[in-house]
Amino acid sequence: MSFYDEVLAGALANVLAGVFIVLLYVLIQWFLRATDIVIGNVWRFDGSLDQPQNLRPSFDIRNRSGSRNYLLANVAYFKDKRPIAAFDNKSLWGKELRPGTITFVEAAPVRAFGSVADCLQAEVHVRLQNGHIFWLKGNGPGQQRMGLVQRNAFWLRDKMEKRAVPME
């Protein structure tokens, strides 16, 4: 190989190594941002189970980020991909999720629901102000709907956090 071929091969290898490192950095940042927020939900009501009133979702929201604040936007209620109740734009709007905190938030009562069975058939969508949406199934408390990639990402993050050495 001539001198110029070696210089070209070395420069190309360095550029490819740089591209690989940047892509790895972007992948890690996406992974951390995708697994920052975990939301659990439960339905609350006033009165007895026979005649519930003021049916409303309560959320257990955990911000596992070390440095990023998030703001809540709204709640939507769907069944079979169609809205079944009015969007709740007021009860959660602007609530801040500080890094490393667990926040308990209760939404406004949903007037379209008259029984607990209606609540359990609904799918609740919680939206952050950055546009990220969380789907919560209605068939039990804390049932966040996840795809295979997201489930594996949460599993991997849990493994990493359990094996991490505290820096404090």
97-121, pLDDT tens digit by residue? 999 899 999 999 998 888 888 888 8
Mean of the per-residue pLDDT values for the chain?
85
The pLDDT tens digits of the residues spanning 55-73 come to 999 998 988 888 889 999 9
Helix axes 148-163, 3-34, angle to 10 degrees: 90
**Exposed, middle or buried: residue 108 (CB in 10 Å: 0-12, 13-18, 19+)?**
middle
Amino acid at 56: R
Look at residue 141 and tell me whether its pLDDT is greater than 70.
no
Q: Give the tokens for residue 36.
A: 């920052």
Classify domain 36-163 by CATH number: 2.60.40
At 93 the pLDDT is 92
Look at residue 149 and tell me whether its pLDDT is greater than 80.
no
Give yes or no for a contact between 107 and 101, defined as CB atoms under 8 angstroms apart: no
CA 17, 18, 20: angle at the middle one, nearest 5? 65
Domain assignments of the chain as residue spans, ordered by start:
1-34, 36-163
